[in-house]
Structure formats: C-alpha cells, structure tokens
Structure 1
C-alpha cells in the first residue's frame, strides 16, 4: 500500500502556516519527514502529519485542563 506523500507546501497549507514554519517543524523532528533528492526537498507522509495534529490537539486539551484546575 502506498502512503500519500506531502510536500512542505502541502503541510503548510493544511496547517495554515508558512512553508518556513513547516520546514522548521520537520527539520526539528516535530513532524516526521524525510529528504528526497539532492536539493533537500522534504516529504511527509499524510499519516505522520495526522499523528502530529493529534499530539498537538491532546497537548492543547491538557493545557486547557491544567489552567482550569488552577
């Protein structure tokens, strides 16, 4: 089965962020990705982006819950 590969432009559009921010998230390991070719073009599997979004949603809920308890 082939996974859908996303470019940094795709990631940026989906998350409504800039391409440099998307690149930073991937290079920093927050979103799992890999480089292809010699020009440093990045690709992200759709599943990896989904996992990032789920982690961020869980973290936001945890922060909100923590603030409400204090």
Structure 2
C-alpha cells in the first residue's frame, strides 16, 4: 500500500525534478500541500500530485495545439 502523503523529496523523485523546484511549486501554490508537525514539514497528498500531473498534461496539450510545429515533416 502506497502512503497517502509524500515528502517533497519523494515528489521530486516522482517528477524527476529537484527538491528546490518542488518546494517552489508548493510555496507558489502551484502544487497543493500541507504543513504538519512542530517543525512545519511539507507533505503532498498523492491524490493531489496525480491531479497536478493530469492538469499539466491538459496544459501541455493545449499549448501544443496553440503552437504547431513549423514544417513538422522537415521540408
């Protein structure tokens, strides 16, 4: 059974980005997270991470549709 909440380092590993990039995404509100414990450690709920990934797929698809390749055949 996978844990419900992930450390920022776990999220970084899942997304193949740096820990600092994930921290920035959390602090900017781009990726929902919670602070827990006396030291205020960040945790990202796995479901929120999956929603974030789906949102990024949709944003990327929209960007690709709005920015077609010039000469996709290499002519």
TM-score (norm 2): 0.82
- In structure 2, the residue matched to 1:17 is 17
* Structure whose alpha-carbon radius of gyration is higher: 2
Q: Deviations over 1:21-65 (max 9, x none)?
A: 101111111111011123231001000000110111100000000
TM-score by length of 1: 0.88
Q: Which runs of 5+ in 2 are unaligned?
A: 69-75
Aligned residues: 68
Determine which structure has the larger helix proportion and give its number. 1
Aligned-partner Cα distance in 2 for 1:6–1:36: 12
Aligned equivalent of 2:61: 61
Partner of residue 44, structure 1: 44
Aligned to 2:5: 5
Distance 2:63 2:55 in 1: 12
